[in-house]
Structure 1
Amino acid sequence: MRTMQSAVKLRGWVQAVVAVALVSVIAACGGGGGGDSGSSNNSSSVLNGGSLPASPTQQPIAATAANTVPITVARGVSGVINIPTVSVTVCAPGSSTNCQTIDNIQLDTGSFGLRVVSSVLNQSVLGALPVNTIGTSNAQLAECATFADGYTWGTVRNATVAILNPTAGIGGETTATGIPIQIIGDLASSTVPAKGCTGVAENTVSDLGANGILGIGTAPNDCGVNCENVNFSNYFACPGGSSCTPTALAPAQQVANPVAHFATDNNGVIVQMPPVSNTGASSATGTLVFGIGTQSNNALAATQTFTTDPFGNMANSVFNGTTMQAFFDSGSNAYFFA
């Protein structure tokens, strides 16, 4: 999924602001090696009539430390290809027991913030997540996160977000306090605003292709100063949960990138996947590492770095001799060119 400056996203079927400078590192480990038994592992495989270069052999960092969690790319909930997923635990603010771990949450380096489909939450947890309000009338706060081919619509609620490591059986990363998240599909379709929220609704698991989205891109919140202007805001005030109208919203109240709110290892992430055969694989398992230069397993050892703008865009990328804007997006399930 891809959040643009105007909050338009590329659906993920598959700022660095002054307050927090987040770094995303996506390790390019793919291209050859493992795969299913029917796949060729020849580094010079011929694919689609062309010879491929030698494949890399780097393996992901082991998902055995407290600041790591496994990434799975498999059939997911809808059989859509190339969707990396992780498990996320959502807790009622201030509670360590009223929690639910949700699998098949899409890992998205191209957006910012946690969004969970309401139907996958049990009523105990969902009912304990307070709906955020705005204005003197305490209108419910909702968001329309728009995509290139649709949108997610639902309330903004506070929750404690934890990303734990069931493999390591220890530790994990947890937000220090409750943070704003979006609950997708918890408002009636009749409340969808006619202006600023158009296209195909992606408010169910089958439509979204996942149980939710974990946006861990380079910004600490989903639209920053843009949403302080009511004309560009994704957010809506809904008195009584209806009659929703656009509203300006300060960054601190916006759907937040959980990584920026971890007590430690909160300055970025590393996304690594293993080599995959040139002819594909039925599944793959990688590692999500939290923090950059904060632990022995997350040193920034890259020989080349790419600087982005506040929204994760690289303005000086070159394709076929033409300079253009590009971005890394784990939430898109293919390479796309304008």
Structure 2
Amino acid sequence: MQRTTRMTRWLKAAAAALAVSLIAACGGGGGSNNSQNSSPSSPAPSGSNQISTVVNKGVSAVPNIPTVSVTVCAPGSASACQTIDNVLLDTKSFGLRIVNSSLSSILGSLPTLPSGSGNLAQCALFADGLTWGTVRTADVHIGGETASSIPIQVIGDLPDATIPSDHCTDTVPATNAEDTASALNANGILGIGVAVNDCGSACSLPISNSNPSTYFSCPPNVTTASCARAPVALNQQVANPIAHFATDNNGVLVQFPAVPDGGSSTVTGLVIFGINTQANNAMPGTVTTFATGAAGDLRNSTFNGAPGVDAFLDTGSNGLFFSASLPSCGSSAPDFYCPTSKQTFSATLQGVAGTTSATVTFAADNANNLFKSGNFALSNLAGTAPGTTLDLGLPFYFGRTVYHGLDLSSNGGQAPFIAF
């Protein structure tokens, strides 16, 4: 049976930190209830910079979870390696995070980064939970691309009793810790959003109330909540692997075929690394390009007549999340909408600093009926969000090719952008 877990996996702490850096789912109702047996698919990968991403039953039978495979190796090793399947593809977080049980054969070969007299750990805060674990160095292989010796987070390799309060459970309850594959609904998270690391320069400053760091220095063999919040240099922060590829390192495009209203049992998309670095990732002049904030936000967008809406595109969210006058699904799926028929909405997305704007449309259908269909790719799954948030999750990507350009401005390169 499908679980109706809400996934709004955008990285809260990172969004705030990067902004600072930039400045200094069973009930009634109508709707679609037709089960689809089709499995739409994008073309198969044909280059070293291409991989498939699949939406299917996955780890926990939660709909709209796009996953990929990654291979993690000890730094410099060609033998101490482990391939991890069912890793969530997330365009609104930054860096690789793997559940410790998925690294069992090589965990001891991945060196922990030092912090003071202890080891570096992180409490990564997401909209629906937190991940807690050490930061380690690894070589990361994705398709034919390699990011050598980058910091990754190993989720759940520290006891739950060590999860700190400061800038961690005082923001997201400890009961929302996602330190297992079943809690995370995946074996890890591959964050390929527009930022090159997950916190930015603000987190490298001395610890104070204005430092948003969720990194911690933990005593060796720690068993209690004795880890202390710590500043962390940019080169020790959990890193977006794309930025560390030898080539094809300026962004990524995510492509999915269209999914019918009633959904599909599975859908297969294509991830292509680099933008305008090869013939297979050329960005046509017909796309609309939006300059974004440092974390990929379009904060001056308009929805339901209200300006100043924070809109963003996020494969890590399994629905479209926004505030609207629609009936909820009740106790079976309280975070989702259950209108009696499909409802269509529009929003005006606005790039930063008054740049490009464009109107997009999307739909919300009866979530309970969608969940009953037995399909795992659902194009009209929608749920609630605060009034100033428009989370264009995975359904927005169906039938589109979306480009995410990395923020390379610190080295005189491109500013962050999205395009479709």
* TM-score of the pair, normalised by structure 2: 0.65
Aligned to 1:310: 294
The whole-number CA distance in structure 1 between the counterparts of 2:234 and 2:99 is 23
Give the Cα–Cα distance (whole angstroms) in 2 for the partners of residues 60 and 307 of structure 1.
Answer: 27
CA distance in 1, matches of 2:299, 2:13: 14
CA distance 1:7–1:78, shift in 2 (3 Å): same
Contact 1:8 1:146 in 2 (8 A): no
Shift of 1:96: 1.2
Q: What residue in structure 1 maps to residue 202 of structure 2?
A: 226
Quote how far apart the aligned CAs of 1:17 are.
12
Are positions 1:162 and 2:176 aligned together? no
Counterparts of residues 102-251 of structure 1 (less than 5 Å): 102-123=84-105, 125-135=106-116, 137=117, 139-164=118-143, 172-175=144-147, 177-198=148-169, 199=173, 200-229=176-205, 230=207, 231=209, 232-242=212-222, 243-251=226-234
User: Counterparts in 2 of 1:53-68, with a 5 A limit?
Assistant: 60=42, 62-68=44-50
1:188 partner letter: P
> Which residue of the partner structure matches residue 65 of structure 2?
83
Take 2:128 and 2:42, find their aligned partners in 1: how far apart are those partners? Answer: 33
- Runs (4+) off by over 4 Å: 5-9, 15-18
Is the 1:140–1:241 Cα contact (8 Å) retained in structure 2? no
Structure 2 CA distance, aligned partners of 1:147 and 1:191? 19
Structure that is richer in helix per residue: 2
Give me the whole-angstrom Cα distance separating, in 2, the residues matched to 1:75 and 1:275: 19
Equivalent in 309, 317, 322 of residue 332 of structure 1: 317
Deviating more after overlay: 247-256 vs 312-321: 312-321
Task: Check 1:237–1:120 CA distance in 2 against 1; reply closer, same or farther (3 A cut).
Answer: same
Rounded to whole Å, the distance in 2 between the matches of 1:8 and 1:278 is 35
Question: In the alignment, residue 214 of structure 2 is paired with which amino acid?
Answer: N
Aligned partner (choices 56, 60, 75) of residue 74 of structure 1: 56
Give distance in 2, aligned partners of 1:131 and 1:109.
Answer: 26
- 1:275 is displaced (CA, Å) by 1.1
Secondary structure of 1:252's aligned partner? helix
Superposed CA offset, 1:211-265 (max 9, x none): 0000000000001123224242110000114220000111111000000000110
SS of corresponding position for 2:321: coil
Secondary structure of the residue aligned to 2:133 is strand
Q: Relative to 1, partners in 2 of residues 1:37 and 1:283: Cα closer, same or farther, differing over 3 Å? A: closer
In the TM superposition, residue 154 of structure 1 has moved relative to its aligned partner by: 0.2
Cα distance in 1, alignment partners of residues 275 and 316 from structure 2: 21
Residue range with higher mean Cα deviation, 178-187 or 311-320: 311-320
Alignment partner of 1:221: what SS?
A: coil
In structure 2, give the amino acid aligned to 1:249. Answer: V
Greater RCO, CA 8 A, separation 6+: 1
C-alpha spacing 1:191/1:38, structure 2 compared with 1 (3 Å): closer
Residue 53 of structure 1 corresponds to none
Match of 2:278 in 1: 295
Determine if contact 1:90/1:101 at 8 Å carries over to the other structure.
yes
2: CA distance between counterparts of 1:307 and 1:16?
14
The answer (yes or no) to whether the contact 2:253–2:272 under 8 Å persists in 1 is yes
C-alpha separation in 2, matches of 1:330 and 1:70: 14
2:12·2:125 contact (CA, 8 Å) conserved in 1? no
Aligned to 1:42: none
Name the CA shift for 1:311/1:153 in 2 (closer, same or farther; >3 Å).
same
Report the CA distance between 1:303 and its aligned residue.
2.6
Cα distance in 2 for partners of 1:114, 1:148 equals 17
SS at match of 1:285: strand
Consecutive unaligned residues of structure 2, counting only runs of 5 or more, are 1-8, 22-34, 323-386, 388-420
Matched residue count: 288
Question: Structure 2 vs 1, CA of residues 38 and 67 (structure 1 numbering), >3 Å: closer, same or farther?
Answer: closer
Seq. identity, %? 55
Structure 2 Cα separation of the partners of residues 87 and 8 of structure 1: 29
Partner SS for 2:203: helix
Alignment RMSD (CA, Å): 2.3
| Structure 1 gaps, min length 5 | 10-14, 19-34, 40-56, 165-171
Equivalent pair of 2:20/2:202 in contact (CA under 8 Å) = no
1:7·1:234 contact (CA, 8 Å) conserved in 2? no
Q: Report if aligned partners of 1:259, 1:290 keep a CA contact under 8 Å in 2.
A: yes
Q: Which deviations, in whole Å up to 9, do the C-alpha atoms of 1:292-338 show, x marking residues without a partner? A: 00011101114311110111001221112222121100000011113
